[in-house]
Structure 1
Amino acid sequence: MAETTNTPVTVLGLGAMGQALAATLLKGGHPTTVWNRTPGKDTDLGAAGAVSTPSVAEAVQAGGPIIVVLFDHASVHTTLDPVVDELSGRQVINLTSTAPNEARELATWAAEHGIDYLDGGIMAIPPMIGQPGASILYSGSEAIFNEHRTALELLAAAEYFGDDAGRASTYDFALLANMYAMFGGFMHGAAMMRSVGVSASAFAERAAAWVTAMAQMFPAYGELIDSGDYTQPIQSLAFHKAALDAINRASRDAGVATDFVAPIKNLIDRQIADGNGALEFARTIEELI
C-alpha cells in the first residue's frame, strides 16, 4: 500500500548526496531526522526543519524508513552493526554505492536480523536530486518500494528491478562504466585538439553532437549482441584495427598518452590475432565475458 501521509524519514550520512536527499524530503513535507559521523554538515538542514541527532541510535528511533547514504559498503556495516537490534522490524533503504554482491550481502545480513531491505543506485549528481533527469534504480524489497514510492519519487524518477538486491547496482555500475568511458574519450580528444590550438570548450560542442549521434546506434548494437551473429559486419574488426592504430599514432604525434584508447586497441588486436578480423566490432563484448 502506498503511503498516504508524509511519513517521517531518517537520513544517515550528510555528504553532498545525503544533504541533497534530506533537503528534498524536507521540501516535500516529510519530517526528516539526520545524522552524520562528523559534525557541522547539518546546519542548513537544521535551519530548514530537520532534526539532527548526535548518534545513530537516536537517529533510527525517529520512525519511518531509514535511508543510508554513506561512503562505501564497509561504512554501512560500521554504522548499522552497532544498532542492529534497534533495526529489527524496520525498513532500510541503502543508497550507498555498493557493488552488486555487496548489496546482496547486506540484504542477507538484513534478513538475518529481521530488517526489510531495499537497495538503490543513484543515477544523478547531488544538484540533480528532486529535478527532472535524475533517477534512482531500486531492487530488493518490493514492499518498501511500493509503500514509499511517493517519497522516493520526490528524490528522482524511481524504477524497481525485482527482488535481487544486487540488480539495481549492476545497472548503476554498468551505466557508470559507459559514462566514464565516454568522458575518458572526451578528455583524450580534448588533449589531442589542444596540440593544434583548439580549446576544450570549442571541442566540447562538436564532441557532444557527435557522441549524441553515435548513441543512437545502441539499440542496434544491443540487438546484434543478443543475436550472437557477428558475421555480417557494416565495418569489420579489421577496419576498426586500422582506425585504432591510426588514432594511437596520431595521439603519440600530438604528445598525448594513450591510456584511454589503448585498451580498446588491445581488445581488437586480440580478436584479430584469433582470426576474427572479418567479424563485426560488436563481437568485442565476447572478449569481456
Structure 2
Amino acid sequence: MTSPTDSDVTLIGLGLMGKALAGALLGAGHRTTVWNRTAAKAEELVAQGALLADSADSAVTASPVIITCVSDYASLQQVLTPVADGLGGRVLVNLTSGDSAQAQEMARWTEKQGGIYLDGAIMAVPPTIGTAAAVILLSGPESAFTTHQSTFDALGTTAYLGEDHGLSALYDVAGLSMMWGVLNAWLHGVALLGTAGVNASTYTPFAAQIAQETVGWLAGYADQVDSATYPPDDATLDTHAGGMTHLIEESERLGVNAEMPRLFKALVDRAIAAGQGGSSYPVLVEQFAQPRATSR
C-alpha cells in the first residue's frame, strides 16, 4: 500500500496510452505510483520500478500530482467520486478524451473537493509518448502547470493554452477536424485518380505538395479572419465556386462520390447569396460560425 509521500506522480488508467504515459514518467526518473481496476495491467510497469497502489484511494493520496487517462468522463467519475476526499490540495491532470463542457464541469467538481484541475489532450499515439513528437495540450491554472512542468515535459512536448479548462478539448477537436479534412480530401483525390489507373502511391507526392502549399496560406488567411476583412488577393469566392462545380461534375461523371465537394459548394453558395462572392476564401468562417444552415 502506498502513502501520501511515496511518489512524485500517480497515473490512474493503464490502457495502451496510460501504460505509455507511466513508462515515460519512469524513464524520466519520476517516482511513479500506478493504479488500474485490473491490477495485472500494471505488472510490466512494476517490473520497471513503478509502485502499485492497492486501491484508487491509496493511488490518489500517494502523490501531489494525479494524472488520469481512462476511457471517458463517466469512468473517471466512477473512479474518483468515492475517493474525492483525497483530492484536497492535489493537482488532478485529466488526459481523458472529452469535450470542453465536460472539462469545465470536471474542473468545478475538483475545485469543490479542494483540488486543482488541469485538463489535457494528447495529440499523439502511444509509441511516441516521451518523445518530442508527442504533443500534450494542457489548460487550467497556470501556476499548477508551471510548478509541475518538469513532470509534464517527461510525456512529450507540452503546450500550455490558458486558464480556460475547456481549451485543450477545443484544440483537440479542432485538430481532429483538420486531420479528417486533409485525410478525406486526399482519399477523394485517390478515388478520382484511381479511375484513370493511377494508384495512391503515385498520386500522394503531388497531394502532399498541394497540402504543404495550402498550409503556407494559413497565416495570411488567419490575419484576414482576425481582422474580419477579406480582400481577394488571390481568388474570389465566385472563382472558387466555378472550380467546385468542375470538381462535382468530374466526380459524378467518373462515378466517384461527390458529397464532400457538394458540401464545399453549399457553403460557398450561401456566402455568395449573402453578397460575399467578391471576398476571399476565409470569409467562409462566417458560415462555419453559424449553428446550422439557414434557408434563403
TM-score by length of 2: 0.89
Partner of 1:52: 52
- What is the SS of the residue equivalent to 2:10? strand
Indicate the larger mover: 60-69 or 195-204.
195-204
Q: Report the Cα distance in structure 1 between the residues aligned to 2:250 and 2:52, rounded to whole angstroms.
A: 56
Instruction: Map 1:5-84; keep pairs closer than 5 Å.
Output: 8-53=8-53, 55-84=55-84
Instruction: Map 1:201-216; keep pairs closer than 5 Å.
Output: 201-216=201-216
Q: Is the 8 A contact 2:131 2:157 kept in 1?
A: no
Partner of 1:3: none
Give the Å deviation of 1:71. 1.8
CA 1:7–1:210 in structure 2 vs 1: closer, same or farther (change >3 Å)? farther
Gaps of 5+ in 2: 1-5, 290-296
TM-score by length of 1: 0.91
Give the Å deviation of 1:169. 2.2
Report the AA paired with residue 101 of structure 2.
Answer: N
Partner of 1:131: 131
Q: Is the 8 A contact 1:11 1:18 kept in 2?
A: yes
Q: Is the 8 A contact 1:185 1:261 kept in 2?
A: no
Instruction: Map 1:101-180; keep pairs closer than 5 Å.
Output: 101-180=101-180
Q: Is the 8 A contact 2:7 2:33 kept in 1?
A: no
Give the Å deviation of 1:123. 2.0
Q: Report the Cα distance in structure 1 between the residues aligned to 2:163 and 2:27, rounded to whole angstroms.
A: 30
Instruction: Map 1:87-98; keep pairs closer than 5 Å.
Output: 87-98=87-98
Q: Give me the identity figure in percent.
A: 38
CA 1:210–1:104 in structure 2 vs 1: closer, same or farther (change >3 Å)? same
Q: CA RMSD in A?
A: 1.9
Q: Report the Cα distance in structure 2 between the residues aligned to 1:191 and 1:45, rounded to whole angstroms.
A: 45
CA 1:106–1:249 in structure 2 vs 1: closer, same or farther (change >3 Å)? same
Q: Is the 8 A contact 1:252 1:258 kept in 2?
A: yes
Indicate the larger mover: 10-19 or 268-277.
268-277
Q: Is the 8 A contact 2:67 2:93 kept in 1?
A: yes
- What is the SS of the residue equivalent to 1:121? strand
- What is the SS of the residue equivalent to 2:242? helix
Give the Å deviation of 1:39. 5.0
- What is the SS of the residue equivalent to 2:154? helix
- Count, aligned residues: 284
